Structure formats: structure tokens, C-alpha cells
């Protein structure tokens, strides 16, 4: 990890704070998330990791997140 965060993170709290933030702050989060993922080396590594995350989500959670990748 580029930033080297070394303390425990309360992911549920962080997720709740992100959900209550405005769309500009949420976009900054997702942009930095994607940028960090792309620093790993290959697109396959990123896709593999995200597929593992996808397996941990319910169908309802996947549906809610569907608009993040929506393109028309």
C-alpha cells in the first residue's frame, strides 16, 4: 500500500461515513481506490481482487453498487 496505513481500521464505521458523505467526496474515494488498485501491476490482479469482493456481497448489495460502473 502506498500510504502504509498501519493501524486497525473500523471498516463498518468508514463505510457509514462514506455513505453519509456527498457525491463529490464519494467520487474522490472511488477515484483514489481505483488509482491504488491500478498501481498493483496488472488489470488481471485488480479484476481478481474485485471478483473476490463481489463473492462476499449479497445480490441486493451488488444491485445497489451497480450504478457505480454504469455507462450509457
Question: Do residues 14 and 48 make contact, with C-beta atoms less than 8 angstroms apart?
Answer: no
Question: CA dist 53 to 10, 21, 24, 72, Å?
Answer: 17, 22, 24, 24
34-70, pLDDT tens digit by residue?
Answer: 999 999 989 999 999 999 999 999 999 999 999 998 8
What pLDDT score does 69 carry?
87
pLDDT at 52: 97
pLDDT of residue 50: 96
Average pLDDT over residues 15-33: 97
User: pTM above the 0.75 mark?
Assistant: yes
Amino acid at each position: 500500500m502506498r500510504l502504509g496505513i498501519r493501524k486497525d481500521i473500523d471498516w463498518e464505521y468508514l463505510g457509514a461515513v462514506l455513505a453519509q458523505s456527498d457525491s463529490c467526496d464519494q467520487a474522490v474515494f472511488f477515484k483514489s481506490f481505483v488509482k491504488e488498485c491500478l498501481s498493483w501491476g496488472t488489470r488481471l490482479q485488480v479484476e481478481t481482487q474485485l471478483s473476490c469482493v463481489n463473492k462476499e456481497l449479497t445480490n441486493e448489495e451488488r444491485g445497489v453498487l451497480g450504478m457505480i460502473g454504469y455507462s450509457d
